[in-house]
Amino acid sequence: MTDHLPGATSVTKPEPSRGYRWAVLLAMSVAVYGSYYAFDCIGPLAPLLSRQLHFSNTNIGSLQAIFSLPNIVMVLIGGIIIDRIGAKKAVFLFGATTFVGLVITSLTPNLAVMLCGRLIVGVGAESLAIATIAGNARWFRGKELSLSYGVKGTIERFGTVSAVTSPAWAAAAYRYWQWPLLLAVGFGGFCVLGAALYWILESRGEKRYTIGSEGNSDRIVWREAFTFNRSFWLIVLMCVTFYSGIFPFLTFAQKFLIQGKHISPQSASLLVGMLPGFTMLGTPLFGLLADRIGKRSLLMMFGSLLLIPVYLMLAYTDVPLGIPMAMMGIAFSLVPAVMWPCIAYVVDERRLGFAYGLMDAVQQAGLVVANQAIGWSNDHFGASSANPGGYVPGMWMFSTVGIAALVFAIWLRRVETGPQGHGLETITTRG
């Protein structure tokens, strides 16, 4: 036996230090920070696109919907790519793709070209997010997984805050439709910078430390998608319904607040900025809470319940706008902080990339439908400053998908408290 031969040594690499793990997380988060700005830059630009380029609500909805359209398939392919080539290479590949798409979007007022650019942004940005989630699980599984996801989300959501509040802090850029898009190109540079830093840190870490599995390069068996357990699919269904009540609202929120509530563009941008602002503080705190107490499906039930009345308050009441926006912000902090890390508990780590890709594919399909449906509804019912009531049917649509998210969260809790549970309600970590 070789361990008893003269001169033979058994070398076991140590686990990475806490500081190194968090440095890796920071690099990943910087990359996705830029992609979050890329996703959310259309909403603040919507009034300018209507005024200067004469885009309809349907056109604007299409600019956001096409971000999601390719990802019905692409995030599945992206998940496979992540499992095949590893997270560090995938993060760089998809970060660069996002940057290229932003450049194309900013080149011309031609709608077809802008749609092409947004499609490329979507291909890169969503797969980039999936790659960093898989990388996060690799470095933090069995440690402070939910907390790390929450901290990562805080940094990333600052990209959303930067985008939706840009009419306030970069008002000069909103004099001409192209300037905010060029600003987005600048923020897209973070996608490449963060990806490069992550590649360097993970390459060094692989030589020095023992870290989690990188997935495997075996052939993907597509029928395995149908063998994922019930908890996985309930999380997926909750994901698509919950986000369908959030992201399409963000697309039209500034137009709704300006035209439906008759407030200034600067005030509208700051109110919408409350949502990601809440997530920056709330997501890590709720992630820490889930790590400490478990009860993950119960927490998601509460977040979904909180979302349901928000849109009806906006449609039918004159309560201070900060109240429903704060409620939405809390829900937007709580549910994602708990939901995404749950996949690492219910799916084998060798298929995490594929599982996250499949989850995001379903989410993107929902967002395509939701963005188009809200844009059509606003046009069909004549939503405008002269007819604020035209926004009401869309608000009912948002509340309806919130109810569906609550139903799936309740169903998940029933499964996880039964004999087929995977520990979502009971697993706690202290490390």
CB 395 within 8 A of CB 260: no
Whether residue 231 lies inside any domain: the answer is yes
Q: Residue 357: pLDDT above 80? A: no
pLDDT band at 392 (very low <50, low <70, confident <90, very high): very high
Mean pLDDT for the chain? Answer: 86
Tally of domains in the chain: 1
Whether residue 352 lies inside any domain: the answer is yes
pLDDT digits (tens, 9 = 90+) for 128-167: 988 888 888 778 877 777 788 778 888 888 898 899 889 8
Please tell me which of 2-11, 28-37, 127-136, 247-256 the model is most confident about, judged by mean pLDDT. 28-37
pLDDT digits (tens, 9 = 90+) for 198-240: 999 988 888 887 776 555 444 445 555 567 889 999 999 999 9
The label of the residue with tokens 């109110």 reads 271
pLDDT of 126 reads: 83
Whether residue 166 lies inside any domain: the answer is yes
Higher-scoring residue by pLDDT: 428, 330: 330
Mean pLDDT, rounded, for 397-424: 91
pLDDT of 330 reads: 93
Whether residue 424 lies inside any domain: the answer is no
Whether residue 144 lies inside any domain: the answer is yes
Instruction: Give the Cα separation of 109 and 69 in Å (integer).
Output: 21
Whether residue 427 lies inside any domain: the answer is no
Domain containing residue 345? 16-416
Instruction: Give the Cα separation of 111 and 26 in Å (integer).
Output: 36
pLDDT of 2 reads: 42
Mean pLDDT, rounded, for 295-300: 93
SS3 of residue 387 by DSSP: coil
- CATH number, domain containing residue 292: 1.20.1250.20
To the nearest whole percent, how much of the chain has pLDDT over 90? 41
Mean pLDDT, rounded, for 23-34: 93
Of residues 349, 335, 333, 347, the one with CA closest to residue 423: 347
Helices 247-260 and 392-416: angle between axes, nearest 10 degrees: 150
pLDDT band at 11 (very low <50, low <70, confident <90, very high): low
Whether residue 396 lies inside any domain: the answer is yes
Mean pLDDT, rounded, for 316-329: 93
DSSP string, 94-127: HHHHHHHHHHHHTS-S-HHHHHHHHHHHHHHHHH
The label of the residue with tokens 């919950």 reads 242
Whether residue 190 lies inside any domain: the answer is yes
Task: Catalogue the long-range contacts made by 407-415 (C-beta closer than 8 Å, 24 or more residues apart).
Answer: 408/234, 408/237, 408/238, 408/241, 409/238, 409/297, 409/300, 409/301, 409/303, 409/304, 410/301, 411/234, 412/231, 412/234, 412/235, 412/238, 412/297, 412/300, 413/297, 413/298, 413/301, 415/230, 415/231, 415/234
Mean pLDDT, rounded, for 61-90: 80
pLDDT of 136 reads: 84
pLDDT digits (tens, 9 = 90+) for 78-112: 777 877 888 889 999 999 999 999 999 999 999 99
SS3 of residue 170 by DSSP: coil
